[in-house]
Structure 1
């Protein structure tokens, strides 16, 4: 029997982060009639850019297998750089930022938490571990649920014109299913049920629905960004860097999916995924279902998520819907986040569980060489930072499933 989370129905939704996903979710929820507050760090308040006056405009193709669309201008009730103002009395708190911002955000958020609030992190990128760790550090005993999803609900870009960042969110795709879990796993049923009260998930709720992952390790390993982004960016760098100068194309039209992916890179991605599957098996967790053949398409496995089980664009075909989505250089989250967070987590867990990860290791090494710095040496995302390195497998499983934390000796 599903947990009763109906108390969230008429409570405000607080969205932390005004980037592409955060801004789109805010507009989407507001269009559906929810009371929405959106927060951004003071340093990035330019992302607001007259947002209260213009509202948030949702456009784009909005491809989805079941045809769900929501278009128009959504007006949020609050735009603020004051987190206390944003989260006071909110039921659901959505954290939609890059992983590197998580610690700063949680250190501000945790002292403000109220009983009954539900935190949704999109995607996790170890955010659940960081949040629970800081809650222990700050002696926070509020009865809140902390959970995460393995991806965002859209493929989206914020429209920029003439160097100006607009409040138009161009939604190309809406996913029809999403995988999530809470830390501890005993909260997962309530966490999944709470998603019924996030209107930005309506394409999922009315589509193939929510999938319960087997602990947040499942959610982190099921995030396919590292397996797609890192080999695609590293091995496709020549196409990206020669796109305008040699190939004569307009740089702003570059797309990893549209131009760089090819059968040879797909082979690397498929072997990368096999290493993740072996790790998941060793850790007794599940993963989202990705088949070998899913990599051999311009749309990779994302095609199935957005457009159904039979959707795939062969490498022999052009797919202009991707044009312009980048990345345009190596200083991009496809490398600067997916290597020191996603790939590094896989590498460390592989060593802890004696699972070889040679393909992942190679991608990390090549990324470091190409970007001219050691992304791993500079990463704080060690298992020790996540407070799990000292645990035996039995202790870690108790923490993941029941929230029973074993302190360091």
Structure 2
């Protein structure tokens, strides 16, 4: 809705790009909130993640600009991001939903439960993604147990991540 009349969406579906035609201020606000939940998880566990200032999220290129094109790379919302043309996704069954949610989001959700960090935005994405594709990602998502780390406490997980010392499940 926010992009209507602001950027040309094109008539050829193969030109579609999530970066060129979907990213808006509201989408950026959700992504930034998601990122804040990631930071809380990392801090609670005792690891760090790449840090980005809030304003980095508020462009058509989002954090991918500085990640892939260097600091300061940004595509304003009022401009197209032609580099991304034709990159899709072209179906709701795209990996952004069918992989990123049951793997990435679900693992964050489980880490939040395990370490007492609320993840309401991440949980909402799981719920909405499940409704969109008709798959219950709460039931089918990758678990910490499947990764072999569900039994590890914080210290054991950090020892495994930092030093490769893995404690077998008793």
SS in 2 for 1:273: helix
The aligned counterpart of 1:367 is 129
Distance in 2 (CA, whole Å) between partners of 1:342 and 1:374 is: 15
SS in 2 for 1:300: coil
The aligned counterpart of 1:351 is 113
1:349 deviation in Å? 0.4
The aligned counterpart of 2:15 is 253
270-279 or 398-407: bigger deviation: 398-407
Q: 1:306 aligns with which of 64, 68, 71?
A: 68
The aligned counterpart of 1:290 is 52
Q: 1:405 aligns with which of 147, 166, 169?
A: 166
The aligned counterpart of 1:177 is none
1:313 deviation in Å? 0.9
Q: Deviations over 1:180-238 (max 9, x none)?
A: xxxxxxxxxxxxxxxxxxxxxxxxxxxxxxxxxxxxxxxxxxxxxxxxxxxxxxx99xx
Q: Deviations over 1:3-46 (max 9, x none)?
A: xxxxxxxxxxxxxxxxxxxxxxxxxxxxxxxxxxxxxxxxxxxx
User: Could you tell me the TM-score, scaled by structure 1's length?
Assistant: 0.39
Distance in 1 (CA, whole Å) between partners of 2:161 and 2:10 is: 51
Give every structure 1 segment of 4 or more consecutive aligned residues whose post-TM-superposition deviation is greater than 6 Å. Answer: none
Distance in 2 (CA, whole Å) between partners of 1:263 and 1:282 is: 29
Provide closer, same or farther for how the CA distance between residues 307 and 368 of structure 1 changes in structure 2, counting only shifts above 3 A.
same
Q: Deviations over 1:238-278 (max 9, x none)?
A: x9xxxxxxx77111111000001100110011011000001
2:94 maps to 1:332? yes
Rg larger in 1 or in 2? 1
Gaps of 5+ in 2: none
Distance in 2 (CA, whole Å) between partners of 1:305 and 1:248 is: 27
Provide closer, same or farther for how the CA distance between residues 404 and 310 of structure 1 changes in structure 2, counting only shifts above 3 A.
closer
1:310 deviation in Å? 1.7
SS in 2 for 1:328: coil
More strand by share: 1
Q: State whether residues 10 and 16 of structure 2, in contact with CA within 8 Å, keep that contact through their aligned partners in structure 1.
A: no
User: Could you tell me the TM-score, scaled by structure 2's length?
Assistant: 0.90
1:360 deviation in Å? 0.3
SS in 1 for 2:103: helix
The aligned counterpart of 1:393 is 154
- Structure having greater relative contact order (Cα 8 Å, sep ≥ 6): 2
1:297 deviation in Å? 0.7
1:401 deviation in Å? 2.3
Q: Deviations over 1:137-156 (max 9, x none)?
A: xxxxxxxxxxxxxxxxxxxx
Provide closer, same or farther for how the CA distance between residues 277 and 267 of structure 1 changes in structure 2, counting only shifts above 3 A.
same
